[in-house]
């Protein structure tokens, strides 16, 4: 009996000597970033790493002592205390710490991650989503944030779409609209939400809002014939004929035999006073001096399939509604190859000079290079001497560069004739040279 008591006593004594380790925290705490540790002295870095090690082990009290000792000027002070109080379940104080850290360092991922998890724990899903999005803005491939963001996005989008459909079925249109808009907060690319909202706004005769959501749906699914048809019709009703013509022509490419689409295109062209391309484009070779609208058409037609950019946005142009080349003008101005003037005019009938053509060509080349095409200057622009353009002239470096590509030439007398207009055949020849270089 004495032997058993002795063994039990020894067991209790040995157990009392063991340091109990707290269980690892259930929150995600990533390593201190190099951007922080490089700011610290060796002694401070050792202390900060020790504090962070304790945080990741769940030793909040030990971490707190080290962080306080480092002081308020330490880059880990506020964010570290945020995690300390998070571990201690003092969520209000933790939130204050994370927010103070962000106030001092707005791009501090550690603080945004802390807030995201705090908001997840307190059920503030909108706020958690916003913080996760902040992390992904800076680190798009952040593994933890990306997974949490995707999970939350999928869940909340689905929940709000279900709510919206239920409210709509009950006839509660305002609640349905609110839920669809919340779905778009989580998934701006949701075609389902955009189309449903366009229907709701259509019944309310809010054509402006209909166009907003159909435009977004079309951007998400540009080849969807049903969306194209609805978007085109809405544009027609809104009397946005230029854009409507573009969308109807896109739809016609998908349904070339559809007579209703062809009739609507003809109707829009009549409203705009637009002539068929063949009757205008085909006379460019006979032009004595090409105009800006003719150059726009040459660029758009010759480089069709190359001059595409899904993020390009049509500028506001006020004087091209009756131009036969209006859609080509919108194309090349949206890509920045030709300019719209500060007063939103394009002056489609204005003739293009050789100097202006040099600038247009350089913009075209810049665009082509960004698309991956290789165009190489044959010699250095600094070696070029132009006798009729002063070196301080705005166009001088542009002309020198385009000559270095051997796309335009100087005369034997080293003149460029910058103010001279270009004939149709000259403009076509120059653009054909560029086209040959990219094929």
Dist CA 163 CA 177 (whole Å) = 10
What's the token pair of residue 53?
């090690």
Give me the numbers of helices (H) and strands (E) for the chain, helices first please. 21, 0
* Domains (range + CATH), the chain: 34-140 (1.25.40.10), 153-273 (1.25.40.10), 280-437 (no CATH)
Dist CA 410 CA 394 (whole Å) = 18
**The tokens 């082509």 sit on which residue?**
368
What's the token pair of residue 340?
């719209």
Dist CA 234 CA 317 (whole Å) = 21
Q: Which pLDDT tens digit goes with each residue over 148-182? A: 999 999 999 999 999 999 999 999 999 999 999 99
| Cβ–Cβ under 8 Å, residues 302 and 437 | no
Give start and end residues of each alpha helix (H) in 371-438. Answer: 396-404, 424-437
Mean predicted confidence (pLDDT) in 389-408: 93
Provide the whole-model pTM: 0.60
**The tokens 């034997």 sit on which residue?**
412
* Residue 59 CA to its chain's centroid (Å): 42
pLDDT of residue 21: 46
Query: Would you say residue 146 has pLDDT above 80?
Result: yes
User: In three state form, how does the secondary structure of 6-71 look?
Assistant: HHHHHHHHHHHCCCCCCCCCCCCCCCCCHHHHCCCCHHHHHHHHHHHHHHHHCCHHHHHHHHHHHC
pLDDT of residue 278: 54
Q: Which pLDDT tens digit goes with each residue over 242-259? A: 888 889 988 998 998 999
Coil, helix or strand at residue 146? helix
Q: Which pLDDT tens digit goes with each residue over 342-377? A: 999 999 999 999 999 999 999 999 999 999 998 988
């Amino acid at each position: 009996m004495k032997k058993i008591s002795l063994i039990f006593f020894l067991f209790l004594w040995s157990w009392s000597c063991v340091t109990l380790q707290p269980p690892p925290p259930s929150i995600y705490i990533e390593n201190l970033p190099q951007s922080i540790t490089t700011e610290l002295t060796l002694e401070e870095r050792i202390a900060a790493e020790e504090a962070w090690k304790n945080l990741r082990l769940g030793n909040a009290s030990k971490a707190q002592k080290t962080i306080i000792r480092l002081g308020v000027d330490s880059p880990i002070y506020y964010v570290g205390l945020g995690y300390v109080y998070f571990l201690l379940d003092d969520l209000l104080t933790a939130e204050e710490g994370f927010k103070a850290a962000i106030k001092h360092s707005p791009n501090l991922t550690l603080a945004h991650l802390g807030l995201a998890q705090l908001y997840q724990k307190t059920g503030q899903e909108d706020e958690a989503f916003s913080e996760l999005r902040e992390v992904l803005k800076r680190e798009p491939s952040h593994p933890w944030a990306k997974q949490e963001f995707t999970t939350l996005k999928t869940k909340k989008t689905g929940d709000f779409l279900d709510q919206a459909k239920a409210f709509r079925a009950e006839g509660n249109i305002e609640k349905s609209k609110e839920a669809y808009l919340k779905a778009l907060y989580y998934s701006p690319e949701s075609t389902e939400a955009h189309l449903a909202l366009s229907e709701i706004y259509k019944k309310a005769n809010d054509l402006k809002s209909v166009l907003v959501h159909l435009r977004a749906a079309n951007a998400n699914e540009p080849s969807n014939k049903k969306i194209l048809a609805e978007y085109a019709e809405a544009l027609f009703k809104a009397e946005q004929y230029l854009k409507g013509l573009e969308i109807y022509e896109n739809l016609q490419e998908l349904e070339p035999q559809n007579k209703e689409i062809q009739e609507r295109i003809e109707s829009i062209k009549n409203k705009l006073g637009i002539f068929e391309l063949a009757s205008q484009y085909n006379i460019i070779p006979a032009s004595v001096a090409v105009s800006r609208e003719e150059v726009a058409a040459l660029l758009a037609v010759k480089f069709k399939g190359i001059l595409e950019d899904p993020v390009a946005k049509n500028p506001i142009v006020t004087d091209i509604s009756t131009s036969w080349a209006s859609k080509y003008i919108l194309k090349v101005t949206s890509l920045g190859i030709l300019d719209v003037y500060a007063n939103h005019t394009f002056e489609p009938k204005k003739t293009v000079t050789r100097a202006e053509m040099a600038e247009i060509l350089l913009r075209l080349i810049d665009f082509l290079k960004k698309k991956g095409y290789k165009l190489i200057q044959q010699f250095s622009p600094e070696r070029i001497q132009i006798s009729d353009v002063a070196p301080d002239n705005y166009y001088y470096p542009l002309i020198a560069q385009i000559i270095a590509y051997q796309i335009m030439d100087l005369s034997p007398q080293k003149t460029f004739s910058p103010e001279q207009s270009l004939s149709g055949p000259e403009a076509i020849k120059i653009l054909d040279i560029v086209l040959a270089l990219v094929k």
